[in-house]
Amino acid sequence: MTERSERRGWHALGYLLLALLAYVPVLRSDPGKVAADTKQYLYLDPARLLERAWSMWDPNIGLGTVTHQNIGYLFPMGPFYWAFDALRIPDWVAQRLWLGSIIFAAGLGVLYLMRTLGRRGPGLVVAVLVFMLTPYLLDYSARISVILLPWAGLPWLLAFVVRGLRDRGNETGAGRIGAWRFPALFAIVVQVIGGVNATALIFAGLAPVLWIPFAVWVTCEVTGRQAWRFVWRTGLLTTLASLWWISGLWAQGSHGLDILAFTETIRTVSRTSLAPEVLRGLGYWFFYGQDKLGAWTESSVGYTQWSWLIVVSYSIPTLALLSAAFVRWRYRAYFVALVVVGVAISVGTYPYDAPSPAGALFTSFAKSSSAGLALRSSGRATPLVVLGLAALLAAGVDALHRRLAGTSRNWIAVAAAGLLVGLAIVNFPALWQGTFYGENLERDSAIPQYWKDAIGAADARPHDTRILEVPGSDFASYTWGNTVDPITPGLTDRPYVARELIPWGSPASADLMNAFDRQMQEGVLDSDGIAPFARLVSAGDVLVRNDLQTDRYNLVRSRSLWRLFDPPPEGLGEPKTFGDAPSGAAGRIDEAALGAPANEAAAPSVGLFPVEGAPSIIRSASPDRPVILSGDGEGIVDAGSIGLLPGSDRAVLYSASFAGNPTALRQQIDRDATLVVTDSNRKRARRWSTVRDNTGYTETATERPLVEDLGDARLDVFPDAGIDASTT
Task: Look at residue 46 and tell me whether its pLDDT is greater than 80.
Answer: yes
Q: Please tell me the least confidently modeled range out of 228-237, 595-604, 647-656, 719-728.
A: 595-604
| Residue 617 burial (10 A CB sphere; 0-12, 13-18, 19+) | middle
In this prediction, residue 711 carries a pLDDT of 87
DSSP track, 293-325: TEESSTTHHHHHH-HHHHHHHHHHHHHHHHHHH
Task: Look at residue 585 and tell me whether its pLDDT is greater than 60.
Answer: no
Dist CA 155 CA 105 (whole Å) = 10
Give the chain's radius of gyration (CA, Å).
29
Give the count of beta carbons closer than 10 Å to the beta carbon of residue 664.
12
Q: For a pLDDT cut of 70, what percent of the chain falls above it?
A: 96
Residue 214 gets which letter from DSSP?
I
Report cis status (omega within 30 of 0) of the bond before 276: no
Q: What is the dihedral of CA 297, 298, 304, 310, to 10 degrees?
A: -110
In this prediction, residue 121 carries a pLDDT of 82
Segment 329-350 shows an average pLDDT of 95
SS3 551: coil
pLDDT, one tens digit per residue, over 186-211 is 999 999 999 888 899 999 999 999 99
The 8 Å CB, 24+ separation contacts for 162-169 are: 162/113, 162/116, 162/117, 162/211, 162/215, 163/116, 164/230, 164/234, 165/211, 165/212, 165/215, 165/221, 165/222, 165/226, 165/227, 165/230, 166/221, 166/222, 167/230
Give the count of beta carbons closer than 10 Å to the beta carbon of residue 410.
14
Dist CA 292 CA 656 (whole Å) = 41
In this prediction, residue 360 carries a pLDDT of 85
> What amino acid is encoded at 511 in this protein?
D
Q: Please tell me the least confidently modeled range out of 400-414, 492-506, 559-573, 694-708.
A: 400-414
Give the count of beta carbons closer than 10 Å to the beta carbon of residue 588.
10
Does 698 or 709 have the greater pLDDT score?
698
SS3 469: strand
Contacts of 596 (CB under 8 A, 6+ apart): 559, 560
Give the count of beta carbons closer than 10 Å to the beta carbon of residue 724.
9
Q: For a pLDDT cut of 90, what percent of the chain falls above it?
A: 69
pLDDT, one tens digit per residue, over 121-150 is 889 999 999 999 999 999 999 999 999 999
Task: Look at residue 181 and tell me whether its pLDDT is greater than 80.
Answer: yes
> What amino acid is encoded at 691 in this protein?
V
Contacts of 227 (CB under 8 A, 6+ apart): 165, 212, 215, 216
Dist CA 209 CA 216 (whole Å) = 12
In this prediction, residue 169 carries a pLDDT of 62
pLDDT tier at 9 (50, 70, 90 boundaries)? low
Plot region of 672 (φ>0 → left; ψ -120 to 50 → alpha; else → beta): left
Dist CA 683 CA 727 (whole Å) = 6
Dist CA 539 CA 516 (whole Å) = 13
pLDDT tier at 171 (50, 70, 90 boundaries)? low
Which residues are 500's β-sheet partners?
Answer: 473
Q: Is the distance from CB of 632 to CB of 603 less than 8 angstroms?
A: no
- Average pLDDT of the residues of the chain: 91
Q: Please tell me the least confidently modeled range out of 111-115, 174-178, 280-284.
A: 174-178
Task: Look at residue 3 and tell me whether its pLDDT is greater than 60.
Answer: no
Task: Look at residue 599 and tell me whether its pLDDT is greater than 80.
Answer: no
> What amino acid is encoded at 7 in this protein?
R
Q: What is the dihedral of CA 274, 275, 276, 280, to 10 degrees?
A: 100
Q: Is the distance from CB of 710 to CB of 270 less than 8 angstroms?
A: no
Task: Look at residue 294 and tell me whether its pLDDT is greater than 90.
Answer: no
Q: Please tell me the least confidently modeled range out of 99-103, 512-516, 639-643, 646-650.
A: 646-650
pLDDT, one tens digit per residue, over 665-681 is 999 999 999 999 999 99
Among candidate residues 602, 601, 566, the one with its CA nearest the CA of residue 584: 602
In this prediction, residue 7 carries a pLDDT of 58
In this prediction, residue 363 carries a pLDDT of 82
In this prediction, residue 587 carries a pLDDT of 58
DSSP track, 511-542: HHHHHHHHHHHTT---GGGHHHHHHHTTEEEE
pLDDT tier at 10 (50, 70, 90 boundaries)? low
Dihedral (CA of 340, 280, 112, 206) sign: negative
Task: Look at residue 11 and tell me whether its pLDDT is greater than 70.
Answer: no
Task: Look at residue 172 and tell me whether its pLDDT is greater than 80.
Answer: no
pLDDT tier at 185 (50, 70, 90 boundaries)? very high
pLDDT tier at 257 (50, 70, 90 boundaries)? confident
In this prediction, residue 176 carries a pLDDT of 66
Q: Please tell me the least confidently modeled range out of 157-161, 293-297, 304-308, 345-349.
A: 293-297
Residue 428 gets which letter from DSSP?
-
pLDDT, one tens digit per residue, over 82-92 is 999 999 999 99
